[in-house]
A and B are shown apart, each in its own frame.
Chain A
Amino acid sequence: MKARIHVTLKNGVLDPQGKAIEHALSNMGFGGVDAARQGKFIELDLVETDRDAAHASVDEMCRKLLANTVIENYSIELE
């Protein structure tokens, strides 16, 4: 089973890299981008076949390492 994890900065946390991307897009002539936020994408290949068990395990991985919950949110997709 694959787990796909998105880690993003929480709302209200300044994202200077996202801001720089937004400015670069604007300078390149791409209009209509109101805001850009940068995050991380992590893909895991899991041995576990039970979805609930996999979700619980990946959730713990996120809390303990993959995301810093002081500043980041995460979301998990299983396939």
Chain B
Amino acid sequence: MKSAVIVFPGSNCDRDMAVALEKITGTKPLMVWHQEHTFDTVDFVALPGGFSYGDYLRCGAMSARSNVMKEVIKRAEDGVPTFGVCNGFQVLTETGLLPGALMRNANLHFVCKDVRMSVENTDTMFTSDYAGDSEITVPVAHHDGNYFADDDTLDRLEGEGQVAFRYLDDINGAQRGIAGITNARGNILGMMPHPERMIEPAFGGSDGRKLFTSVMNRLG
């Protein structure tokens, strides 16, 4: 599986993502700088965590309008599996590829800890290997992870099985405890927690690993 990690000024989980992808897929990902207009064909595009453009204006707002995102949006709309973690999730909502927005945590605290989540839908290309897992533990590290969307959108997300992950405890005020969602087509996933930081026991756990193996299995 060939993958790409998009790197913005201020990304800081791009190397974590690259390590996870290389360890799990066996192939070093392409690191793509935000000023690029295009990049080699890949099977999987990852938008990493961090504080791209210093979170200026709104988290992810500047990155969503960068050169490289025009290409990422085009490929995601063509069906290329696209995965945004933390700041990457914020970028995906800012582009409109995923509905809703990530707002300041309701308690105003930066939250940095391992959190328990339920896998709400194991019938997606990102979650199929979690079938049978009642809960998983993955770290979060964010100040703006409070997922917001209007009630109609939330109802639609729930009804269509687009809620992929839900927090088991309220950590940031997210509407309906939403930690991660997919688009309607199912090829785009955005989530606040960091599965790439939980890929082997030496990292404190390996609950994040199945996300990447699910995609690998789907892509064959």
Is B37 interfacial (CB 8 A cutoff)?
A: no
Interface residue tally on B, bucketed by range: 10 to 19
Classify the secondary structure of B's interface with A. loop
The 0/1 profile, CB within 8 Å of A marked 1, for residues 60-78 of chain B is: 0100010000000000000
Cross-interface CB contact of B103 among A13, A40, A64, A65, cutoff 8 Å = A13
Assess whether A39 is interfacial by the CB under 8 Å rule. no
Give B85-118 as 1s and 0s: 1 = Cβ < 8 Å from A's Cβ atoms. 0000000011000011101111110000000000
Whether A68 touches B108, Cβ cut-off 8 Å, given contacts A13-B103, A13-B148, A14-B173, is: no
Contact A14 B57 (CB under 8 A): no
User: Which of B58, B61, B93 has the largest count of A CB atoms less than 10 A from its CB?
Assistant: B58
| Interface size bracket, A side | 10 to 19
Binding site for B on A (CB under 8 A): 13-14, 16-17, 20, 40, 64-66, 68, 70-71
B residues with CB within 8 A of A: 57-58, 61, 65, 93-94, 99-101, 103-108, 146, 148-149, 173
